[in-house]
Amino acid sequence: MSENQIEDQMRLLLVPLEDIVVFPNMNVTLTVDVGDEDRVLLVPKHDDEYAKVGTVAEVTDRIRLPGGGRAVALNGLHRGIAGAAGSDSQGRLFVDVEERPDEESADGRIRELEREYRAVVEEILELRGDDGRIAAFVRSISEPGALADTTGYSPDISFEQKVQLLETVDVRERLELALELQRERLALMQIRKRIQDDVESGVDKQQREYILRRQLDSIRKELGEDEGSVVEEYRTKIADAEMPENVLEQAERELSRLERMGDSSPEASMIRNYLDWLLAVPWSKRSEERLDPQFTREVLDADHAGLDDVKKRIVEYIAVAKLRKERGVEIDRRSGAILTLIGPPGTGKTSIGESIARATGREFVRMSLGGIRDEAEIRGHRRTYIGALPGRLVRALRDAGTMNPVIMLDEVDKVGADWRGDPSSALLEVLDPAQNHSFRDHYLDVELDLSEVLFIATGNMAETIPGPLLDRMEVIRFDGYTTDEKVAIARDYLWPRQRERNGLREDEISIPDEVLAFIVSEYTREAGVRQLERELGAVLRKTATTIASETVEPPVEIDTDAVREALGRQKFYREVAERTAVPGVATGLAATATGGDVLFIEATSHKNGDKLLLTGQLGEVMKESAQIAISTVRALAPQLGIDEEAFENRAFHVHVPAGAIPKDGPSAGITMATAIASLLTGRPVKHTVGMTGEITLQGRVLPIGGLKQKVLAAHAAGLTDIVIPERNRADLDEIPDNVKDDVAFHPVMSIGEVLSLALEEAPVESNVAL
């Protein structure tokens, strides 16, 4: 250290400034107590770290603040380098200071830097829209060191940059640093100005993206949505989701990709959507099942009348699950239940799904599959497609909020197929207990365990369900309700619901069971109860109108006259006796997608021809049945007492009325043969007899399907004798007891037995020429 430097040292009070930098020639007021000191050293401080260089400042004024506080006005003189430190008796910190005022220099390089600095600052002031005062202040500064220190006034310069500028004692180096900082500032301001004027004005793409991202990052940090917080939020959610190990690995892999590429990448939104869906699956959530068979049966009985087969199967499922849990049997992921309810519309297939969920304590989700043709509806779209989404099963689990809901696959028999794939094939894996524990959605691309889901599929006809899919289902048939069951349903469910919907109280209106039975028999002809509910609604609306208009006083009891006034004339008639009064007409039984039905088959003939004419929109199988019937009757003509010459040069016409409705199937075979035999013998068919069965050329009667639906339709139509194939005798166990009490069943093996049961003993005159 030189003698001059030793002489320049003096001992000054150290005043630390937290995150503040004071430059020479600055005037500041600080709320500090400096005692009687005339000069102090102002040193910037950040996180307990002091700058190496401070500013020697002169106390120009002492200010007393309200409340007894003190402040001082200080004027920065020049730089000072802190040396050895020590405390006085009052605990104040004093340091040895080497004062370093700026050296005067007429160096050409400094003058050049000074000119360039002034030019840059003027450009900055021009971009900022300065009114000229700051520019005049800068022009008034003649010293190069003081000029460089004006950079410290800029609000865009960071604390670290200001400290760096303060610690640069050499004037030339300080000017170079100040010029560099101001150039960066000018470049930033120019880019901002260009973006504001015109984003597409030719600014370099990288520069524009850089500044936009800087601004975007600043905005997100202010909103607490910066990239780090988003990633951390996902990391927290993933940790809380309790995912299976393979799913957790996939989620962390995608999160790492998001973290690496940044939130501004175009693919970031796709990754975030994927993570959102992955988190939407309730991996660790399950409903607490109520494994009480007795309670389950009570709930099902309270919600639905009849449907005993379905109720028994659900109770069995609950009972088995209860035993396995009580006895500690390990859960078999390949033992799931896939129940399929097949039956006509309006029989309660969909609503019983909600009852099953309520009885078991599970969540309920309904998926309507009717008309879907895209395989991606089940499995989801692959993530390579824009707008890709998971399949309906993943969405169903999200909506349920648990991994063990009751999922109802409604109208599974109406799933279509086209060039986009076959959804029914995708359902093969879903509805197979041996496979669905590892179902893989195309979008999520991780294994989903569906073995805990209770799947309930519904449909109107099993024939339209693909064979491999039907093979995986446990089919329970809904064959419709008897009249007594419909009356019970109407009394206990439909009537109260419609009464409430029409604003009536229980004490204002009532209806006897006899009137309900009257509505069922004369105004409805269906397997379910939807039309019955509509008719009851019409009766109640009519009554509600009279009560609201005060034309009648409650309570009101509905009778048959009130029903006829509300619903009009009778809509369905028992016309079997009238239709079968002439030879050539037989009563058959059919099963359709909407339930059982009674159909009449009419036969007539005329001379001068040998053709068989079939009308009534018959399908190919039914046409073949008619041809077999003619051949069978002709082969058995001697046994039936029919003259062989009756078939010579004669054309036959077989018609099945309701010609607008397509009909098909072999079960009308014996009915056609009976109609033709009745025509040729002149013996009418008994009006109490209905029949169903397939016929062979040898006259044998083969079994048919849908017997229960057909019997219920025959019972509703007033038939009391039903001819069925012998091999369908076992199916009579499914027939309700009250129907068995009203109907006599006649199992037969040959067409001869059919004719002996169906035809009247004596022929009658007919207007049909033989």
Q: Which residues are catalytic?
A: 667, 710
Q: How many helices (H) and strands (E) does the chain have?
A: 29, 25
Nearest to 12 by CA among 71, 102, 93: 93
User: For the stretch 682-717, what's the b/e string if a residue is b when 16 or more beta carbons lie within 10 angstroms of its beta carbon?
Assistant: bbbbbbbbbbbbbbeeebbbbbbbbbbbbbbbbbbb
Torsion angle in degrees (nearest 10) through CA of 399, 401, 406, 412: 30
What DSSP line would sit under 275-304, residue for residue?
A: HHHHHHS-TT--------HHHHHHHHHHH-
Measured CA to CA, the distance from residue 416 to residue 372 in angstroms comes to 6
Nearest to 504 by CA among 493, 513, 495: 495
- The residue with tokens 């039956």 is 343
Alpha helices in 416-559 (DSSP H): 423-430, 467-471, 483-489, 495-501, 513-523, 530-548
Measured CA to CA, the distance from residue 122 to residue 128 in angstroms comes to 10
Nearest to 519 by CA among 507, 510, 511, 509: 511
Dihedral pair phi/psi, residue 280, rounded to 5°: -75, -20
Measured CA to CA, the distance from residue 652 to residue 584 in angstroms comes to 11
If DSSP codes are grouped into helix, strand and coil, which group holds residue 593? coil
Q: Tokens for 649, please give them.
A: 């040069």
Torsion angle in degrees (nearest 10) through CA of 342, 344, 345, 347: -80
What DSSP line would sit under 24-81, residue for residue?
A: TT-EEEE----TT-SEEEEEEEETTEE-SEEEEEEEEEEEEPTTS-EEEEEEEEEEEE
Prior bond to 725 cis, omega within 30? no
Dihedral pair phi/psi, residue 7, rounded to 5°: -65, -30
- The residue with tokens 């990754």 is 271
Please count the CA atoms within 13 angstroms of the CA of 266 that sit on its side-chain side.
1
Q: Tokens for 608, please give them.
A: 């001068």
Measured CA to CA, the distance from residue 264 to residue 213 in angstroms comes to 8
